[in-house]
């Protein structure tokens, strides 16, 4: 479950983004950044699952290469133009390559080197491509002699299982009953909850902007609020809202959180300014 501090941080970032753009697309892009910490843990967990689930794929890929070598005559008979032979060669190479790619991805993730998160997305794409190629070649496999058809068919089924597991790691939300994805489900749920709570908080503050701005201006003692950055103003609005309209949050807690946010986003000078404003608001408006 996300902490109140994490929700506040996300809300401030959301305020800032929406001051620049109101589109849903920009919100989604922003949430990729806001959830980067959770997303990093999520992607690490996905790689770990992949490494476990893809164990043995290289062995099966080698068996495919051997089986296709023994099926040369059947492949040529299924398509005398030679196109099928080229596609089966492409398939065996792709199966070996993706097995090696995922093994290397696991190593890169453990060492935290390279663009391993980009490589994770590439692994998902490569898996989808090789799965599609197998599906296209099934029509040729069905025309093989019984023994060769059975051998290659079984290998295709095993490789399809590997790709099904890649898809499960890519989109675990579609497989809520899969116990081996429990950690991914938990992380994903926390990310969704963070967004839900932050959007709820920003909505509550946005509904009271006029009143909040008036309270800040009164406490600022003729300070020109136009001089404030959007981030600092958003922190003040959130802090004032919590002090004046959220009785379940002690004023001291709201002020301390706002100070920490200002220090984190803007620095010590902003933190001191926010402290002074909210301290006055708390003395005059705290319920």
How confident is residue 113, by pLDDT bands cut at 50, 70 and 90? confident
Low-confidence winner among 14-28, 98-112, 125-139, 270-284 (lowest mean pLDDT):
14-28
Per the rule left: phi > 0, alpha: psi between -120 and 50, beta: everything else, 171 is beta
Q: How far is residue 282's CA from residue 194's CA, in Å, rounded to a whole number?
A: 27
Q: What is the pLDDT of residues 21-61, one digit of tens each?
A: 555 455 666 676 666 666 788 899 999 999 999 999 999 99
Mean pLDDT of the chain: 89
Query: CB–CB of 85/79 below 8 Å?
Result: yes
Query: CB–CB of 169/184 below 8 Å?
Result: yes
H-assigned helices in 112-145: 116-141
Which listed CATH number (2.60.260.20, 1.10.940.10, 3.40.30.10, 3.50.50.60) goes with 208-287? 1.10.940.10
Residues 6+ apart with CB under 8 A from 140: 75, 78, 79, 84, 88
Residues 6+ apart with CB under 8 A from 226: none
How confident is residue 189, by pLDDT bands cut at 50, 70 and 90? confident
Q: How far is residue 32's CA from residue 96's CA, in Å, rounded to a whole number?
A: 32
Q: What is the pLDDT of residues 194-242, one digit of tens each?
A: 889 988 999 999 999 899 999 998 888 777 777 888 899 999 999 999 9
- pLDDT reported for residue 286: 56
Q: From start to end of the chain, where are the E strands?
A: none
For 121-130, what is the mean pLDDT? 96
- pLDDT reported for residue 223: 75
Predicted TM-score of the model (pTM): 0.71
Q: What is the pLDDT of residues 145-175, one digit of tens each?
A: 999 999 999 999 999 999 999 999 999 989 9
The structural domains of the chain, with segments of one domain joined by +, span: 36-170, 208-287
- pLDDT reported for residue 287: 53
pLDDT over 90, % of the chain:
64
Q: How many CB atoms lie within 10 A of CB 140?
A: 21
Q: What is the full DSSP assignment across 73-90?
A: HHHHHH-TTSHHHHHHHH
């Amino acid at each position: 479950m996300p902490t109140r501090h994490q929700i506040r941080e996300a809300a401030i970032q959301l305020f800032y983004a929406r001051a620049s753009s109101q589109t849903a697309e920009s919100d989604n892009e922003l949430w990729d950044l806001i959830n980067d910490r959770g997303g990093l843990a999520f992607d690490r967990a996905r790689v770990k699952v992949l490494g476990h689930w893809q164990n043995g794929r290289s062995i099966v890929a080698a068996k495919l290469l051997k089986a296709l070598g023994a099926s040369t005559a059947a492949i040529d008979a299924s398509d005398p133009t030679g196109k099928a032979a080229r596609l089966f060669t492409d398939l065996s190479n792709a199966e070996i390559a993706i097995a090696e790619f995922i093994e290397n991805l696991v190593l890169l993730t453990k060492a935290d080197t390279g663009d391993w998160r980009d490589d994770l997305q590439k692994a998902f794409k490569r898996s989808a491509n090789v799965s599609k190629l197998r599906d296209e070649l099934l029509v040729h496999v069905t025309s093989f002699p019984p023994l060769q058809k059975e051998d290659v068919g079984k290998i295709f089924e095993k490789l399809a299982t590997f790709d099904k597991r890649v898809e499960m790691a890519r989109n675990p939300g579609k497989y809520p009953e899969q116990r081996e994805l429990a950690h991914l489900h938990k992380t994903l749920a926390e990310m969704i909850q963070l967004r839900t709570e932050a959007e709820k908080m920003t909505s509550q503050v946005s509904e009271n902007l006029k009143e909040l701005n008036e309270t800040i201006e009164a406490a600022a003692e003729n300070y020109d609020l136009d001089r404030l950055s959007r981030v600092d103003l958003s922190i003040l609005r959130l802090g004032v809202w919590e002090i004046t309209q959220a009785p379940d949050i002690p004023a001291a807690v709201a002020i301390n959180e706002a100070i920490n946010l200002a220090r984190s986003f803007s620095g010590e000078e902003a933190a001191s300014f926010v402290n002074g404003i909210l301290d006055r608001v708390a003395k005059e408006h705290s319920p």
